[in-house]
Structure 1
Amino acid sequence: MRAARLIRMALLIQSNPGLTAAALARELEVSERTVIRDAQALQEAGVPVRSERGRVGGYFLAAGYRTRLTTLRPSEAETLFLSGLPSALRDLGLSDAAATARLKLTATLLPSVRQAAESSVRRFHLDAPAWFREPATPELLPELARAVWADRAVELTYAWPGRDGAPASAVARVVEPYGLVLKAGTWYAVARVPAKREDHDGGWRTYRVDRITALGPVHGAEEPFVRDPAFELAAHWEAGSAAFARSLLRTTVTVRLTGRGLRRLPAVADGAAITDALASASAPDPAGLVTLELPAESEDVAFDQLARLGADAEVLAPASLRARFRERAEALAALYRAGPREARPGETEDQR
C-alpha cells in the first residue's frame, strides 16, 4: 500500500513541480506529516526529492531526473488503456492529442506490458453511457469477457424479441467473440461467426449481452481462435452501430401525436426510430395532430415508450397494441373514479 503511494507521490511531483505538502496530502488522502515521511523515504530509496521553502516553494525532483513507467504490471496497463472515451475526445477536438499521448506512453512500456495494453484496446471499447441511466450488468457478462480475453470461441443462445407481440425466439450459434462495447448503459458483444461452420455463412454479428441466455465452450475447440489483425473494435462499432440499431426495430406502430407529443417523442424512443418516424410524419391536420409510423423493437417496447406520452399519443395500429392502451386507460379511469382506498390489515399490494 505504501509502495504504491510512494510511486504516485513521485509521479505527482514529476508532473507538477512545486506541489506543497498540503496539496500532496489532499491528492494522496494522507496527512502532511505522512507526506514529509514519504518524501524522506523516497530520498533514502534514491529518488532525488527536495523541498524548498517560501512563497514559490514546494517539492521538486532534481533537474533532469525522470521516473520510469517500466514497472507497470500488465493488468495496470490494460486498465490504463481502457480509460479513454474516443467519442467524447473526438467531440472535444482532443482525439489527435490523445493519440499522441498514448503513443508516447506506449514507447515507455516494456514489451510484455505494451502487448497487454494494445490487447485491451483491441477487445474493449467504451461508448459513454447516457445521462441518468446506470449501466446494467448482465449475468453472463463476466464469463463472456473471459472468453474475449482468451480469444476463445463460445456457443451462445440468443433470444430475439418477438415481432408484433409474438413470443421471443431463440437461436444457438458458435461465435468468436472479438470485443465488448458499453453503449448508453447496455453491453454489446461484437463477434465473428466462422464461415467454415455449416450452419451459417459467416460474418460479423452484434449481440446484446443481456439477451444471451446461455453461454458455454465449444466442444473440440480448446485452442484460441486466430484474431484478424486488421480488426479495430472502435472503427467497426462506429461503422456498424447505426445499422445494428435499425436491425432491432422489428415492428412498426402507427401513432397520432399532438404537437407536444411530437416534441417529446425523441425523449422516449431510440435515435434510429426517431429518424425514420419523423421522415414518415404527415402534415398537421386542422387540429394540429400529426400521424407517423414509429419503428420499435416489439409491441412491448412500443407500449412502454408511448405510455410515457400519456394523452399526447394515440395508437392507431396495430389493433392489438391499441387494445392494450384501451385496457390501460379503462383501468386508470376506474381507479381514479373510485378514489383512494385504505389498505386492510395484512393485505398485500397484489390483493388490493
Structure 2
Amino acid sequence: MRAARLIRMALLVQSSPGLTAEALARELEVSRRTVIRDAQALQEAGVPVRAERGRAGGYHLAPGHRTRLTTLHPTEAETLYLSGLPSALRDLGLSDAADTARLKLSATLLPSLRAAAESSVRRFHLDAPAWFREPSAPELLPELARAVWSDRTVRLSYARPGRGDAVTRLLEPYGLVLKAGVWYVVGRVPAERDGAWRTYRVDRVTALSPTDEDEPFVRDPSFDLTGYWRANAAEFARTLLRSTATLRLTTRGLGRLPAVADPAGVAEALESASAPDAAGRVTLDLPVESEEVAFAQLSELGADVEVLAPEGLRARFREQARALASLYGVADQR
C-alpha cells in the first residue's frame, strides 16, 4: 500500500512540479505529515524529491531528473483499457479520438503488455444505462461537452418538470456526469450570489448558445467534480421530487415500493408512514417528481396501492381502472 503511494507521489511531483504538501495530501488522500514522511522515504530511496519555499515553492525533483517508474505493469495496462465507458465516449462524440488514442498506446507497449491490455477488452464490458431503458444521447450533449472542454460560458435554457415554462441561465459548465444512463451538467451560475453551483439534466436542456464573451471563464482550481457529485448527489435527487402523493399500500405494495419509486422519496416516506390499519394497509406521503412520473411508477403496483391525493393523480388511476374494467369485461363498480 505504501509502496504504491510512494510511486504515485513521485509521478505526481514529476508531472506537476510545485505541488504543495497540502495539494499532495489531497491527491493521495493522506495527511500533510504523511506527505512529509513519504518525501523523506523517497529521498532515502534515491529519488531526489525536495521541498522549496516561496511563491514558486512546493515539491520538485532535482533538475534534469526523471523517475523510471512510468513503465506499465501488465495489470496497469489491463485496467487502463477499462478506464472509459464506450457508450459515454460515443455520446460525447469522442469515440473516434478514444480509438485512435488506444491504437497509439498499443503501439508503445511491449508485445506482452499489448496482449494483456487487449485481453481485458474481451473479458469486460461496461454498460452504464439501467435495464429496460433505451439509452439515447441528448441532442445538445456534444455541444455542451465542447463548452466544458474549452471553459466557455453558455446561455442555457432548461425545461422544468411539471411546469410549462423554461428558465434561461448563464452557466459556466465545469463538468459532465453520467449517472445510470442519464447525463448531468454541473456548473456555476455567476449571476447568482456567491456564484452558486447548479446541476441540470442535459436531456432537459432545450437550447444552448455561446455568450458574446471571447475569453474563457476562469476555472476555480479548487473545484473537484467527483467530490462535488458525491457530496451533493443525494440532495440533488431530492430536489427533483417537487410533488407529493398520499398513498395507502398493502403489505406487498409497501415491500415493492422501493423497486418502482425514487429511493430518496421512498426513504423519506417510510419515516412518516402510519401504523397499519385493520386491513394491514399503511398510509404515507411519497415525494414524487410529477404526477406523470408518479402515475407511471405506481401503476406497476396494481391493486396494492390506492392514491388518496392529489386528486389529479387519483383521477388518472380512476380512469385507468375504468378502461381496464371495460377492456376485460368487468362491470363498472362506482
Category of TM-score, reference length = shorter chain: 0.5 to 0.7
Alignment of 1:173 onto 2:169: yes
Instruction: Tell me the distance in 1 between the aligned counterparts of 2:321 and 2:133.
Output: 28
Who wins on radius of gyration, i.e. which is larger?
A: 1
Q: Which of 199-208 and 229-238 deviates more?
A: 199-208
- SS of residue paired to 2:254: helix
Aligned ranges for residues 150-189 of structure 1 at < 5 Å? 150-162=150-162, 167-189=163-185
Q: CA deviation at 1:169?
A: 2.5
Q: CA deviation at 1:132?
A: 4.8
Partner of 1:296: 288
User: Gaps (5+ residues) in structure 1?
Assistant: 1-64, 70-78, 85-107, 109-125, 339-352
Q: CA deviation at 1:226?
A: 1.1
Residue 328 of structure 1, aligned match among 320, 323, 326: 320
TM-score of the two chains, using structure 2 as the length reference = 0.60
Call closer, same or farther: CA 1:273–1:305 in 2, change over 3 Å: same
Q: Which amino acid aligns with 1:171?
A: V
TM-score of the two chains, using structure 1 as the length reference = 0.57
Partner of 2:216: 224
Instruction: Tell me the distance in 2 between the aligned counterparts of 1:285 and 1:253.
Output: 19
Partner of 2:76: none
Q: Which amino acid aligns with 2:174?
A: Y
Q: Which amino acid aligns with 2:184?
A: Y
Instruction: Tell me the distance in 1 between the aligned counterparts of 2:291 and 2:131.
Output: 25
Instruction: Tell me the distance in 2 between the aligned counterparts of 1:127 and 1:243.
Output: 25
Q: Which amino acid aligns with 2:310?
A: P
Instruction: Tell me the distance in 2 between the aligned counterparts of 1:238 and 1:311.
Output: 37
Partner of 2:84: 83
Partner of 1:212: 205
Q: CA deviation at 1:136?
A: 3.0
Q: Deviations over 1:266-286 (max 9, x none)?
A: 111111111111111111111
Partner of 1:269: 261
Q: Which amino acid aligns with 1:207?
A: Y
- What's the % identity of the aligned pairs? 67
Instruction: Tell me the distance in 2 between the aligned counterparts of 1:311 and 1:134.
Output: 28
Conserved in 2, the CA contact under 8 Å of 1:161 and 1:169? no
Call closer, same or farther: CA 1:279–1:67 in 2, change over 3 Å: closer
- SS of residue paired to 1:309: helix
Call closer, same or farther: CA 1:236–1:333 in 2, change over 3 Å: same
Call closer, same or farther: CA 1:227–1:66 in 2, change over 3 Å: closer
Instruction: Tell me the distance in 2 between the aligned counterparts of 1:311 and 1:172.
Output: 42
Instruction: Tell me the distance in 2 between the aligned counterparts of 1:317 and 1:66.
Output: 64
Partner of 1:142: 142
Q: Which amino acid aligns with 1:331?
A: A
Instruction: Tell me the distance in 1 between the aligned counterparts of 2:319 and 2:285.
Output: 22
Aligned ranges for residues 1-352 of structure 1 at < 5 Å? 82-83=83-84, 129-162=129-162, 167-194=163-190, 197=191, 202-219=195-212, 221-337=213-329
- SS of residue paired to 1:143: helix
Alignment length (residue pairs): 219
Instruction: Tell me the distance in 2 between the aligned counterparts of 1:254 and 1:193.
Output: 35
Partner of 2:22: none
Q: Which amino acid aligns with 1:279?
A: E
- SS of residue paired to 2:329: helix
Q: CA deviation at 1:212?
A: 0.4
Q: CA deviation at 1:187?
A: 0.6
